[in-house]
Chains A and B, each alone.
Chain A
Amino acid sequence: MSLRVSDLRVHYRTLRGDVKALDGVSFAMDDGEILGLAGESGCGKTTLGKSLIRMDGRMRHIDGSVELDGRELPIGDDRAMNGFRFHEISLIPQYSMSAMNPTRRIGKMINELLRSRGVTLDREELERRIAQVGLPVEVLGRYPIELSGGQKQRVVMVISTLLDPALLIADEITSALDVSTQKAVAKALLDFRDRGYVKSMIFITHDLALTAHIADTIMVMYAGKLAEKAPTEELIKAPKHPYTKLLINSLPEIGVRFEERKLEGIPGSPPSLLRPPQGCRFRDRCPLASEQCVEEPPATEVEPNHYVACWKAA
């Protein structure tokens, strides 16, 4: 599969004006790639994830295009997108704990869902996949309320990948989990990719550390725009964008005590996306900012497959 996003702009309509949540983002993904999409709250990563599969009621597709395997995705047209959903593009939502109908047995719901999409349920295949994520087959006969949070998460992961989509979007699925469960979920995702259940994945998160474990490429977003995108090793070891550098430095390191090295944060807060500032959006908080930054830096490929949007890095 191949995904190409060109200058995508998606805004939220609010009473006070348009919030420019996604303001011109371009990137590409290859077959079999796991892309980690990281950034602060409000940077646009969830908006990007949602735009690719199903838009909120308040979201508007303003400009730009998305191409999946050479075909343009009609992301602005809810009904037209239906053909792609579940079959080609699928989603593991952030709210997996409550994503299943509480008054339906899980197996029955899956059957009804598939039938409604014109697919006959392959019971054996479903049971196999359930077992693969470490769940007993009996869960299919239970109600969601009878399962634990982690179990529900895994069931939802199986459901979302049941039709072997080309692209899977995992939207902050580990945020509410403890560390060991996070690890199990990450492993399961890798497993899906390796077994061919999904071709490529976008893993949205605000946890850089976890992303580094499973993503092939990491894309860091800031204030609705792309800041840096590079293969994982490169981004972690040799980040080029000042924001990325500060981010990585702000991560606590196990074994290092506070007395030895203070945790650095990034002073200030992201700009309002209702009326975004002129030029580089990180300008106000960037230690390297200069007058050059009044003009917005484009995302340039400084090294093969390494994109940075910063005048200082190019």
Chain B
Amino acid sequence: MTTTTPTALPTEERVVRREALYFAVRNPKLVIGFSIVFVFAVIGLLGPVLLDVDSPNEYVAMPMLPPSSEHWFGTTTQGQDVFTQFVYGVRTTFLAGAIGGGIAAVIAMAIGFTAGYRGGLVDEALNMLTNIVLVIPTLAVLLIINAYLGIRSVGMQALLIGLTSWPWAARAIRAQTFSLRSRDFVDLARLSGVGTPRIIAREIAPNMSSYLFMTFILLFGSSVLIAASLDFIGLGPTEGVSLGLMLQNATQWSALQLGLWWWFVPPGAAITAVVGALYVANVGLDEVFNPKLRET
């Protein structure tokens, strides 16, 4: 029972992408999630430019002032403006998340694609490596490395985070690559003599692009959290300020006991908001790309 003349499908890919966009802008989780992240990104990008101070950590006013029209978020025990610190902190935190998440994503893709596509011994070896890095508790390793080598810049911190948080993503990418590897278009490319790296870059990765994007979002979120924890313990950058550092300072200087809530509530709230928005947006993205999940 076949219909013979197959209808040509040149526009199908474009239709799929347009359909994705259609659903994307109508998905509340995605829209709200990305909006929140966008707002904070703008704060982090433009805030320091607009505020234009020499250093967010300079002493500008009377200490321990509650929020007012002059100091939106009040001041610290040293008389620093909390809002200024907050804005600079958002920038640093975003940087840490983006760089850390980005590096982790790159490593995860390199290992995941290779293991999933090659299989065999290469797969076994990479699996072993993944399992080892997976089991080692991230914070403990970063602790030791940070403490001895005294890494003091955001970039280095992000690099180290990226080097240790890729395993789960590598595993996920490997699994996806596995299932794509046996598809017809890959076989076709192989038959045409296309080399492995190009097959991965041209055939496999684009078909997983949505998945890769979602993975990056999650890595971004976890990088932000890890960086904040590191800063909180005292292993953060020595220059500048980050949201985690603000929390550390607040705790160290007894903001808790003194009731200086304006010092410790905003930084944590910002982290929660950004990471939470990313998670929710991720769920929305899943719904957009997987039609089965869409509610009718």
- A–B interface present (Cβ within 8 A): yes
Cα A14 to Cα B295 in complex, Å, equals: 9
B3 at the interface (CB under 8 A from A): yes
Contact B296 A208 (CB under 8 A): no
A13→B296 contact, CB < 8 A: yes
Residues of B within 8 A of A270 (CB): 3
Determine the chain A residues whose CB is within 8 A of the CB of B2 once the complex forms.
250, 265-266
- B contact residues around A38 at 8 Å (CB): 1
B1–A39 CB distance below 8 A: yes
B7 at interface, CB cutoff 8 A: yes
Kindly identify, within residues 55 to 103 of chain B, every residue whose CB is under 8 Å from any CB belonging to chain A: none
CB atoms of A269 and B296 under 8 A apart: no
**Binary interface encoding of chain A residues 2-30 relative to chain B, with 1 for a CB under 8 A from any of its CBs, else 0:** 00000000000111000000000000000
Interface residues contributed by chain A, number (CB under 8 Å): 18
* Among A57, A206, A208, A266, contact of B3 (Cβ-Cβ < 8 Å): A266
> B3 to A14, Cβ gap below 8 A?
no
| Cα separation A265 to B2 with both chains bound (whole Å) | 6
Give the interface SS of chain B, mostly helix, strand, loop or mixed: loop
A71 at the interface (CB under 8 A from B): no
A40 to B2, CA, bound (A): 8
What residues on B are CB-neighbors of A55 within 8 Å? none
Q: How far is the CB of B266 from chain A (nearest CB, A)?
A: 40
A227 shortest CB reach to chain B, Å: 12
Chain A stretch 232-257: residues in CB contact (< 8 A) with chain B:
247, 250
17 contacts between A and B (CB under 8 A): A13-B296, A15-B294, A15-B296, A38-B1, A57-B296, A58-B296, A206-B1, A208-B1, A247-B1, A265-B2, A265-B3, A266-B2, A266-B4, A267-B3, A267-B4, A269-B3, A269-B7
Interface positions of A (Cβ within 8 A of B): 13-15, 38-40, 57-58, 206, 208, 247, 250, 265-270
10 smallest beta-carbon distances between A and B, as pairs: A265-B4, A269-B3, A265-B2, A40-B1, A247-B1, A13-B296, A266-B3, A58-B296, A267-B5, A206-B1
| Besides A15-B294, A266-B4, 20 new A-B residue pairs in contact (Cβ under 8 A), listed by A number | A13-B296, A14-B296, A38-B1, A39-B1, A40-B1, A58-B296, A208-B1, A247-B1, A250-B2, A265-B3, A265-B5, A266-B1, A266-B2, A267-B3, A267-B4, A268-B3, A268-B5, A269-B3, A269-B7, A270-B3
